[in-house]
Amino acid sequence: AAAAAPARRVRQAMPADAVLINANENPLGPCKAACEAIASIAPKGGRYDIDGETDKLIKTFASQNGLKENYIAVYAGSSEPLHYSVLAFTSPTKGFVTADPSYEAGMRAAQVAKAKISKVPLKPDYSHDVKAMIAADPNAGVFYICNPNNPTGTITSKADILWALENKPKGSILLVDEAYIHLSDAENVVDQVAADKDIIILRTFSKIYGMAGIRCGFALGRPDLLAKLQPFGQNAMPITGSAAANVSLLDTDLVPTRKKIIADTRNDTFAFLKANNYKFIPSQSNCFMIDTGRNGQQVIAAMRAKNVYIGRTWPIWPNTVRVSVGTPAEMAKFKVAFKEVMDSAPT
């Protein structure tokens, strides 16, 4: 008999006192206004969105970003539109091109679509090698650019993204994943959506806005491009997600304040890494990579034994582990555990 399918879950339950710096989450959680919006709207949860929470969110984002409302599609996070965009624009004859290492969810969708997958190594400065990406597959349907990139936290210039947009094959799209854009100094490319280019931008409230468990995200694009995503699923938005996202956007101090909190903690951790001669990639995001000089899986297991859960390795760099930026207290525990692990002989 076929094995039972595993239960659908994003992650297993973790020990209560574990340091969770493995999933690029935001330990600050939703802002105060978002928590209040969630609490006050919860009693209306027996209905679909009767008060138009998702419309309010679209109006807010449209006016803040100079976009028409029909260029914004709201989802329960950005994973859905990422998946749907790849399913819509790749096929056995239309390939998927991604950087390596990069966020792999789009590649998994391309595997479902039976598309040819081209993985193009990052440049020595860890930006996307847009020239090599465009050259990689003249029949590609999707070029995926994650800016800042996950797992490296490094950025790709707007000039490079515009070059890719101008030089990609006809009929393809650029899928620009801006999940971490607010954490960095990277320039967003929303003006290219407004200019009706062949581009879909993904945004999420899971990162700087601290709403990974609440769920809200956007696909931004020309209405005809967004329409191609619809056949893959049209789930209703949780009203909690839309209401919390709307008030988060209206709190204009939130992004700069949180960007600084996370950057300060990240830079303090970098100072520790530098002082101890550990090799790391300078990141502008809430995650960074450390070259451990030994098998990364063993480092991850040894850290886990000390109750510190760090992220994973990518196949192209088996000695390099991804670490998310937690609270200062969590990073203090990380430093102690990491030094102990690195001071011990590799197993």
- Name the segment binding ligand PLP (CB under 6 A); options: 57-65, 75-83, 84-92, 245-253: 75-83
DSSP classification of residue 185: S
Q: How far is the CB of 188 from ligand PLP (least distance, A)?
A: 14
Check residue 206 for interaction with ligand PLP (CB under 6 A): yes
Please give the Cα distance from 153 to 25 (Å, whole number): 14
Check residue 95 for interaction with ligand PLP (CB under 6 A): no
Of 95, 101, 141, 217, which one interacts with ligand PLP (CB under 6 A)? 217
Instruction: Please name every residue paired with 27 in a beta bridge, in sequence order, or none if there are none.
Output: none
Q: How far is the CB of 2 from ligand PLP (least distance, A)?
A: 29
Q: How far is the CB of 210 from ligand PLP (least distance, A)?
A: 11
Check residue 103 for interaction with ligand PLP (CB under 6 A): yes
Q: How far is the CB of 204 from ligand PLP (least distance, A)?
A: 3
Residue 17: which of 306, 214, 211, 297 has the closest Cα?
Answer: 306
Q: How far is the CB of 46 from ligand PLP (least distance, A)?
A: 25
Q: How far is the CB of 4 from ligand PLP (least distance, A)?
A: 26
SS3 30: coil
287-291 and 320-324 beta bridge pairing: antiparallel
First to last CA, the chain: 39
Amino acid at 92: P
SS3 34: helix
Please give the Cα distance from 94 to 79 (Å, whole number): 21
Check residue 98 for interaction with ligand PLP (CB under 6 A): no
Task: Provide the angle, in degrees to the nearest 10, between the axes of the packed helices 105-112 and 79-89.
Answer: 40
Check residue 204 for interaction with ligand PLP (CB under 6 A): yes
Residue 219: which of 195, 193, 241 has the closest Cα?
Answer: 193
Check residue 179 for interaction with ligand PLP (CB under 6 A): yes
Peptide bond into 318 cis (omega under 30): no
Amino acid at 294: R
Q: How far is the CB of 49 from ligand PLP (least distance, A)?
A: 19
Task: Provide the angle, in degrees to the nearest 10, between the axes of the packed helices 328-343 and 296-305.
Answer: 120
Check residue 65 for interaction with ligand PLP (CB under 6 A): no
Check residue 181 for interaction with ligand PLP (CB under 6 A): no
Check residue 320 for interaction with ligand PLP (CB under 6 A): no
Check residue 208 for interaction with ligand PLP (CB under 6 A): no
Check residue 248 for interaction with ligand PLP (CB under 6 A): no
217-220 and 199-204 beta bridge pairing: antiparallel
Check residue 79 for interaction with ligand PLP (CB under 6 A): yes
Q: Which is nearer to ligand PLP, 106 or 302 (CB)?
A: 106
**Residue ranges binding ligand PLP (CB under 6 A):** 24, 77-79, 82, 103, 146, 150, 177, 179, 204, 206, 212, 217
